[in-house]
Amino acid sequence: MRKLSFRPALTLRGRKFKGLRGWAGKPFHPPLTDVPVGAYMLVVVFDVISYLGRNQEWARDFYRAGTFTLIGGAVVSVFAALTGFWDWLKSTEKGTQARRTANAHGWTMVTVTVLVLVDIALRWFTYDNIDHTPGRIAALSLVVAVLTMLGGTLGGSLAFDYGFNVETAGDSPVWHVSETDVLPGEKG
């Protein structure tokens, strides 16, 4: 019996293109969020290590690594925000629980973005020649990480609890024992 099947999961044939939202069953927003979320979690680790090792030579390297990681996460978050906004605009109806949860997710992530921009500005213009992460920056990075986890939890609820932007399979042949792969749009 076959053990692996990549093609059905990766094919776009048979899926409707939805512009900035991606394809039916393959939205752009969720995978784009992985980079900023991972970056913001790494930044707090780098900053805490740098702060705790403030008397060591390598503390500056961790501080700089945190700065560049934060900038990289912020750049990708622009695309995550655009696709998320488009999802919100086109996929949620006013007055629904899904819309309220999407609003909470969106405003949490807007707050994260503002704090990230403040963090970058402080690193770039105020603490640019320092040899370790200052306590204020480490605290700000921790707040960003906590809010990112909260925002990610809200976004996860949209996808996993509410099925937002998820193409449900119903009684699909993909759940039946078979050696034949069923591609999107096929009945099997």
Instruction: Give me the pLDDT at residue 15, please.
Output: 77
Instruction: Give me the pLDDT at residue 168, please.
Output: 64
55: left (phi over 0), alpha (psi -120 to 50) or beta: alpha
Instruction: Return the domain boundaries, the chain.
Output: 20-164
Instruction: Give me the pLDDT at residue 175, please.
Output: 64
| CA distances from residue 103 to 85, 106, 108, 155, 156 in whole angstroms, order as listed | 10, 5, 8, 10, 13
Instruction: Give me the pLDDT at residue 119, please.
Output: 97
CATH number of 20-164: 1.20.120
State the pTM of this model.
0.83
Strands annotated E in 1-154: 22-23, 26-27
Instruction: Give me the pLDDT at residue 169, please.
Output: 58
Tokens of 65: 């690594």
Angle between helical axes of 97-121 and 59-91 (0-180°, round to 10): 150
Residue ranges for the chain with pLDDT beneath 50: none
pLDDT in tens, 33-70: 999 999 999 999 999 999 999 999 999 999 999 999 99
Instruction: Give me the pLDDT at residue 179, please.
Output: 78
Q: Is residue 54 classed exposed, middle or buried when 0-12, 13-18 and 19+ CB atoms within 10 A define those classes?
A: middle
Residue 13 CA to chain centroid, in angstroms?
26
What's the full length of the chain, in residues? 188
